[in-house]
Structure 1
Amino acid sequence: MTATDISPPRRRAPARRVRARRGDLFWIYLFIVPGMVLTAMFVFYPMGASWYFSLTQWNGFSDAKSFVGLANYRELLGDGMFWGSFGRSMVFVLIGVPLRVALALVLAIVLNNIIRGRLSTFFRTVFFLPVMAAASVIGVVLTFVLSPSNGPIAVFLESTGLTDAPVEFLSDPQLALWSALLLHTWKNFGMTLIYWLAALQTVPSEYYEAAEVDGAGAVQQLIKITLPILIPFAVIIVILTANENLHAFALIQALTGGGPYYSSEVVEVYIFRTAFAPDAAGGVPRLGYASAAGCFFGLATLLIALLQAWALKLVADQRARLDR
C-alpha cells in the first residue's frame, strides 16, 4: 500500500472534527441568541435611550422633544434637591453597608462555629425569609406595623410605658430616613449572612486543628486564621452590599414615598418623582431631566464600584506578598 492510498482517511478525520465543532458552536450560539436579544431589548437599549433622553427636554408623553445638550446636567449640578437625595443614598452606603456587613459577619461566625445542627438551620431560614419577599409588599405591611395610631409597635411601646406618645417612625422627618435604613438592612440581612456563611466554608478545618494543638483559643483562631482568610471575601461582600443599598427604591417608595418633606428621598425616588410624579416641575413631568439624573447617578455608582475593585486588587496583591 502506497502513501497515497492511506492519505485520504487522514485528511477526512480532521475535517469531521471541524464539522462536529462547528455543529456544537451552532447550537451554543443558537441558545445564546434569545438571551442576547432580551438583554439588548431590556438592558442595552434602555441604557442608550436614557443617555439620549438626558440630552433632551421631554415630558415623556408627547412626541415633541427639543435637544438641549448638556443643559440638564448643568441644571442638575446646581439642584439642591438632587444633591440632598444623593447624600441620603450615600447614607445608605456609608452607614448601612458597614452595619449590615459587620452584624452579618458576627452572626455567621456564631451560626457556623457555635450554634450547629437544626437550630442553626432554623436561624438561617428565619433571617433569609425576608429576602424572598417582595420589597414593595414588605413596605406596605410595615406601614401598618409601624402606624402611630394602631400599629402593634406603637401599642407595645405605649402599653409598656417606654413612650408617652406614639412614635412616628415613618412620618417624622427626623426618623423616616433612619427607619427606612434599618428596615432595608433587616429586609436584606439574610443575603449578606449567606455570603459570609459561604465564605466561612472556605477556611480549612486543618488550620483550626493545628491551632488547637498549639494551644490557641477561639479568639486567637478568629484573629489569626478566620479574619485574614475572609479579607478577600469581605471586599466582594462589601461591593455587593453597597450595590444593593444603592437600589432601595421599592422599599422606600412603599414605606414613605420619599417623605415626609423629602426627608427620606434617595436618588431613585427623586428620579421617579421627577419623571412621573404630578408635582414635579409644577405638574409637568421631566423625563429628560430625570434621565440626566439617572445617568449621573449611574456614573457615580460605577466610580464607587471601580474604587472597590481597586481595593480588592490591593488586598489580593497584599495577600500574594504575604503568601510568598
Structure 2
Amino acid sequence: MTTAQVHIPEQPAPRAQRSATSDTVWCYLFMLPTIVLAAVFTFYPAIASWVISFQEWNGFGDERTFVGFANFREVMVDRYFWAAFGRTALFVLMTVPASLVLAFLFAAALNDASYRLRPLFRAVFFLPVVTTTAIVGIVFTMLMNPFDGPLNRFLLSIGLIDQPIDFLGSPSLALASVSAVFIWKWTGISMIYWLVALQTVPKELYEAAEVDGAGIWRRHRHLTVPMILPFGVIITLIAVVGSFQTFPLVQAMTQGGPSFSTELVELYIYRLAFASEGEPRLGYASAAAVIFGLAILIFTALQAWAVRKIQLARKGQ
C-alpha cells in the first residue's frame, strides 16, 4: 500500500516578494506625475465643465446662478454655434480625406524595403508633427503674408498670379489656407499608422501575387486594401478626432477671422468664455463644449461600431 504524495507548490522567497513589491511601488511613483497632471488639466476641467454648464457664471466672481438646461436650450437655437459647427464639419471634410490619402501614398512608398533612404524620409515627413503648433501657425502666417510673404513672391515670379493673394485675409480663402497647413502638419502621424498597418501584410502574399502576374495596382487592390481595412477605419477615427482639435493652429494664424470665416467650434467656445467683447459667459460656453463633446463621442461610437462590424464580417468569411 503506497502513500499518496501531495505536491505543495513552492512559495516564492521573501526576497523575491520584496523585490516585486518594490518594482510595483517604483512603477506607481514614476506614473504619479502623469496621473497628477492628467487629473488637474484633463479630468477636473472635464468634470467642471459639466457642472458649470448648468450655471450662469462669468468666471470671475463667486456669484453663480443655477439655470438648469437653459444654457443648453440657448445653444441649440444659436445660429452662430451651428455656423461654427458647420465650418468645423467642412474643415474635417477638407483635411481628413486629403491627409489620409497623402499619408497612405507616402507609407506605401516608404514601405519598400529596397528603398535605402526610408529612414531619412520618414523623419522628414514626421518632423512637422513634433513641431510646436503655435510656431507652425506663426511661420505660415509670415509665409502667406500678402505684402512680402515668400509664397506670394514665388507665385509672382513664376507668373502663376498677377497680384498677391491674401490667403488669410480673404473670407473665401482663409479656411482653405488653414486646412492646407493642418494637412502639412499632421499627415506624418497618419503615415506612421499606415506604415504599421502595411507591415502586417505578409510579404509572401505579395511575392505569390507577383509570380501570378499581378501588377502593383492589383496587388494593392486585392491584397493590401482588404487586409488593412480594419486598421483604416481606426486610422480614420483617429484622424477625424484629431481634426476637431484645431484651436492652437487657428488661433495662431487667424484668431477665427476674417469675418468669423475660420471660427470653428473651439474658437467659438473660447470667444464666449474668455475673449468676448461683453461679459464672459462661462456657463454658456461650457454648455456649448458639452454638446460638441457629445457629438464627437457619438461619432467615435459609430466608428467603433463600424470597426466591430468589419471584424465580424471578416471572421464570417
* Fold in common (TM above 0.5): yes
1:285 aligns with 2:280: yes
1:70-81 alignment, distance < 5 Å: 70-81=69-80
The match for 2:54 is 55
The match for 1:272 is 270
1:318 aligns with 2:313: yes
What secondary structure does 2:111 align onto? helix
1:115 to 1:209, Cα distance in 2 relative to 1, 3 A: closer
Which of structure 1's runs of 4+ aligned residues deviate more than 4 A?
9-12, 14-22, 32-35
User: How many angstroms does 1:67 deviate by?
Assistant: 0.9
The match for 2:135 is 137
The match for 1:188 is 186
The match for 1:116 is 115
User: How many angstroms does 1:224 deviate by?
Assistant: 1.2
Cα deviations by residue, 1:267-304 (Å, 9 ceiling, x for unpaired) = 1111111111142xxx2111111111111111000011
Give the Cα–Cα distance (whole angstroms) in 2 for the partners of residues 158 and 10 of structure 1: 86
Give the Cα–Cα distance (whole angstroms) in 2 for the partners of residues 35 and 132 of structure 1: 20
Cα deviations by residue, 1:232-287 (Å, 9 ceiling, x for unpaired) = 110110011011100011000001001001001111111111111142xxx21111
User: How many angstroms does 1:10 deviate by?
Assistant: 5.5
Identity %: 45
Deviates more, 1:12-21 or 1:60-69: 12-21
Gaps of 5+ in 1: none
Deviates more, 1:242-251 or 1:207-216: 207-216
User: TM-score normalised to the size of structure 2?
Assistant: 0.90
1:304 aligns with 2:303: no
What secondary structure does 2:171 align onto? coil
1:116 to 1:161, Cα distance in 2 relative to 1, 3 A: same
User: How many angstroms does 1:41 deviate by?
Assistant: 2.5
Give the Cα–Cα distance (whole angstroms) in 1 for the partners of residues 40 and 136 of structure 2: 30
Gaps of 5+ in 2: none
Give the Cα–Cα distance (whole angstroms) in 2 for the partners of residues 98 and 26 of structure 1: 44
The match for 1:68 is 67
User: How many angstroms does 1:22 deviate by?
Assistant: 8.7
1:321 to 1:265, Cα distance in 2 relative to 1, 3 A: same
The match for 1:203 is 201
What secondary structure does 2:112 align onto? helix
Give the Cα–Cα distance (whole angstroms) in 2 for the partners of residues 21 and 317 of structure 1: 44
Cα deviations by residue, 1:195-227 (Å, 9 ceiling, x for unpaired) = 111111111111111112222222221111111
1:216 to 1:159, Cα distance in 2 relative to 1, 3 A: closer
Deviates more, 1:60-69 or 1:257-266: 60-69
1:16 to 1:219, Cα distance in 2 relative to 1, 3 A: same
1:247 aligns with 2:245: yes
Cα deviations by residue, 1:35-62 (Å, 9 ceiling, x for unpaired) = 4444333222211110011111111111
Task: Give 2:244's aligned amino acid.
Answer: L
Q: Which has the higher helix share?
A: 1
CA contact (8 A) 2:209 2:219 kept: yes
Q: Which of residues 224, 245, 248 is equivalent to 2:222?
A: 224
User: How many angstroms does 1:29 deviate by?
Assistant: 7.7
User: How many angstroms does 1:122 deviate by?
Assistant: 2.7
Give the Cα–Cα distance (whole angstroms) in 1 for the partners of residues 66 and 20 of structure 2: 48
Cα RMSD over matched residues?
A: 2.7
